Chains A and B, each alone.
Chain A
């Protein structure tokens, strides 16, 4: 038996087929992951993401500590409510985790991945000596994501006046506390929507209210195809300690300025840049029938070989897509080995769909 979120019984009651995700028993789907995917792109859906971890950072040196810990610079967050996406690196420039960081009234709120929570806390504690900083793992909180073009409007119809007003003012990549709920306009689907962090004992009731109002529950199967279409990395597949942000479509998240900000991993990244970055993360599209899958080999004529990091069927495009790490000289065509045969693929930018529209 894996770990369970506060909504486990509710998922079973809704007909969820369960899957193990990083040691958690989570809903894979509630009937059809392809239907759930379409639902999010066309309307909206609700996800239980309570397996992720919320870590609150306080103390007089919270800011300089995070500026030391993270590859992106929290100094860029000028107002309470603003958020950024960052990698947390080890001294070799490898990625320990990726996360979203919000500037709050009390300090900062970090949201980190489900399977890496314990590792992250151990790493953070090991690298906090000498800083006046206090970390609180908010394990009593649950987290729900409501995503899709109608998500914000639908939630606004079901919550208090104060929360409705907050929802209407939140800009993309902002999050604010309202009472005992933290509401952020962030997500992992490429659609507009909200992520709500709330006390566990309110999560079941709210999820139930949303489903009762006709909002579809969405499982991790659709979550994966949605984030893949949006070109978003998944820790453990696109990124881990073996790769740097420079070869993971995350160079934009590294804040090189100011030059004297010595974040962990900076020296390794500078050395990699000086030597010449050798790989890149690209998108692949299979134009014929079949499904691209993680670890399939990619062959690029006269250039070399790479590997698919994530692959699946894209319900929005009705064809298979993948993210792959390939040599930097790769142009717009390659071949992938699927069950012993080679198939031609198009090499494209690593974002396939945005706001419901195909980009490729």
Chain B
């Protein structure tokens, strides 16, 4: 049983999205980090890169495999979590406070509405 905070929105590809002022903060879910195993490298997106919702945004590399992460919303990357360079294992330890990147969204309300809520994600992962 993984942790699924009620206030977040989720992509089926296991990213979470949280509104923070006029930015959207993105990370990966507890279910995802658990499935990946120990994370050893995170390839962060470039600041300034513009994504459509669902575009490949970076890579999380664990001992087990390399997994692409996708931007759950459309917009421009304005900040990335450099701390993951030295401590990638924080994605395993605190998946909901170890954010990966922040986006200035082009269509926040619309894109967030298309994501799953906590109950929807829980059902999607079969819990």
Contact = CB atoms under 8 A, between A and B. Distances in A.
B92 interface: yes
Given A291-B66, A339-B66, A32 B61 contact: no
B74 interface: no
Chain A binding surface SS class: mixed
B38 to A, nearest CB: 4
Nearest to B89: A34
B61 A312 contact: no
A289 interface: yes
A227 to B, nearest CB: 14
B89 A289 contact: no
Contacts of B61: 289-291
Contact of B41 (A17, A221, A289): A289
Contact of B63 (A221, A289, A290): A221
A147 interface: no
Contacts of A291: 40-41, 61, 63, 66
Chain B binding surface SS class: mixed
B5 interface: no
B37 interface: yes
A313 interface: yes
A289 B62 CA distance: 12
Interface of B: 34, 37-38, 40-41, 43, 61, 63-64, 66, 89, 92
Nearest 9 Cβ contacts at the A-B interface: A34-B38, A313-B40, A289-B41, A313-B63, A291-B61, A32-B38, A33-B38, A312-B63, A33-B63
29 contacts: A17-B34, A28-B37, A29-B37, A32-B38, A32-B89, A32-B92, A33-B37, A33-B38, A33-B63, A34-B40, A34-B63, A34-B89, A221-B37, A221-B64, A225-B63, A289-B41, A289-B43, A289-B61, A290-B41, A290-B61, A291-B40, A291-B61, A291-B63, A291-B66, A312-B63, A313-B38, A313-B40, A313-B63, A339-B66
